[in-house]
Amino acid sequence: MQLILEELVATWTDPACPVARTVDLVGDRWSLLIIRDAMSGPTTFTELHQELGIARNILTDRLRKLVEHGVLDRTTVPDDARRHTYRLTEAGEDLFTTIVALRQWGERHAFAAAEPHSVLVDDQGRELPELRAVSQDGEPLSAGTSTVRKLG
């Protein structure tokens, strides 16, 4: 994984920015939707193709990149060497909060007030609380109350 990241440094949008690096790795539409679907558990190429309606060549490319970047792990199906299962790695699991934040933003800004949409719930059936950035002492943060400190 480290070698792949080192090779990418020259192509990153802004090598010093964690947001830019993350967007370069997983920020396209299809990658985020693949990651979203993989959050439900291991999935196959066919399942992703059917669920997302994505072109096969694009799906192949995104899966390859997500595996190369350590977001997904690819394993061969035991009884069929031509089929593979994709599951999130630890790095992929770390994107859960990001996916939830994107979802909650979409619930607030991408739907009309009464427009129906799916709901994300915990294993008890309760809706997830709204994610908020907070300071070390628990105070709410915003773009106006935080600053990027550039190193170097």
**Domains defined along the chain, listed by start:** 2-93 (1.10.10.10)
pLDDT value of position 70: 96
Distance, in Å, from the CA atom of 102 to the CA atom of 112, rounded to the nearest integer, reads 17
Q: What does the chain come to in residues?
A: 152
Specify the pairing of strand 43-44 against strand 80-88.
Answer: antiparallel
- Judge whether residue 3 has pLDDT over 90: no
pLDDT digits (tens, 9 = 90+) for 8-56: 555 666 778 889 889 989 999 999 999 999 999 999 999 999 999 999 9
